[in-house]
Amino acid sequence: MYIVETYTTAVILTFITMLCWGSWANTQKIAKGYRFELFYWDYVIGILIFSLLIGFTLGSKGPSGMGFLANMLQADQGNILSAILGGVIFNLSNILLVAAIAIAGMAIAFPVGVGLCMVLGVIINYIAAPQGDAFTLFLGVGLVTVAIVLDALAYRKLATSNQKTPAKGIILSVLAGFLMAWFFRFVASSIATNLEMPEPGKLTPYTAFFFFVIGIVVSNFIFNTILMKRPIEGKPVTFSDYFKSDAKSHLAGIAGGMVWAVGTSLSLIAAGKAGYAISFGLGQGATLIGALWGVFIWKEFEKAPKGTSKLLIPMFLLFFAGLGFIIYAGSH
């Protein structure tokens, strides 16, 4: 299987993670009018397809380590369940975040949910597997968190005055952020510390990612089915509505899932060299990648009120400075 050999390569992979996590949502814009509850089924199918593709390619080819199927057959039940539980937790947190966005808007849901997820997730993963300089790492995380808050304030300037009361949205954002901070640790704890000669029962990043995806797929039949029957916004949708949707919408959803899966799998693959705290922290900068898409491609701030640029410029500067500190922390 493919194993990351250098810290530089690990950083490059985590940057790709950040790009993927911050870009997959663009596929929803391609599938304009396609209900999120239906889109999410295709999204999950895309994740599952990619988990098999990477397992039978990078996870199976190479002179060192243990192949995808061989590792799966020797895996300990506890490690398999840990990775699956990570998938269940992620899926629940992701759906809660979507609900929070629908109720309170991005301006509240993202800084509360993603900000809490990033800070708490880095702390959890650093305590479990300390790697890199703690002060520099958390300084970088702090700068990126401030950048996320500035991003939220900029989006708030675009919001209408007709917003719903955000109390329920704030609660959902906190729950989403808290849960999302934990999923990575459950998956990481199932992965072998020595990838060239994995400990008996432990998983490779490729096998762990596959079982993580199984957790997402299985739990989706519960969480998303409930969401279809009791949607946050709009009328309930049925499975017949899903099969009536056009091919373009289905392909967009599958593509979105595959893009997200590329990012998540590379984050796990890179974590062996970069450390789980740093890998997770860099990936959570995806919020700002989303902002870049919004500013330069989708022109979301084209009609923004005067003074918005005063928030966007320091937002991007703090973002890149924070990333620099996080990368530097891992090299020392």
pLDDT digits (tens, 9 = 90+) for 26-75: 898 888 889 989 999 999 999 999 999 999 999 999 888 999 999 999 99
Give the per-residue pLDDT at 304: 74
Mean pLDDT of 219-248: 94
Q: Note if the pTM is more than 0.85.
A: yes
The alpha carbon of residue 187 and the mean position of all alpha carbons in its chain are separated, in whole angstroms, by 13
- The answer, yes or no, to whether residue 161 has pLDDT greater than 50, is no
HSE on the CB side for 152, CA within 13 Å?
Answer: 19
H/E element holding 306? none
Look up tokens 């590379």; give the residue: 266
Nearest to 274 by CA among 141, 132, 135: 132
Q: What percent of the chain clears pLDDT 70, i.e. is strictly above it? A: 95
* Averaged confidence pLDDT in the chain: 89
H/E element holding 58? none
For 255, list phi and psi in degrees, rounded to 5.
-60, -40
What is the rounded distance in angstroms from the CA atom of residue 321 to the CA atom of residue 309? Answer: 18
pLDDT in tens, 102-126: 776 666 677 778 888 888 999 999 9
pLDDT confidence band for 162 (50 / 70 / 90):
very low
The alpha carbon of residue 90 and the mean position of all alpha carbons in its chain are separated, in whole angstroms, by 8
Mean pLDDT of 215-225: 97
Which of 97-101, 249-253, 323-327 is predicted least confidently?
97-101
Q: Are 51 and 261 in contact (CB under 8 A)?
A: yes
Which of 19-28, 75-84, 108-117, 318-327 is predicted least confidently?
108-117
Give the per-residue pLDDT at 106: 63
For 96, list phi and psi in degrees, rounded to 5.
-65, -40
3-class SS of residue 297: helix
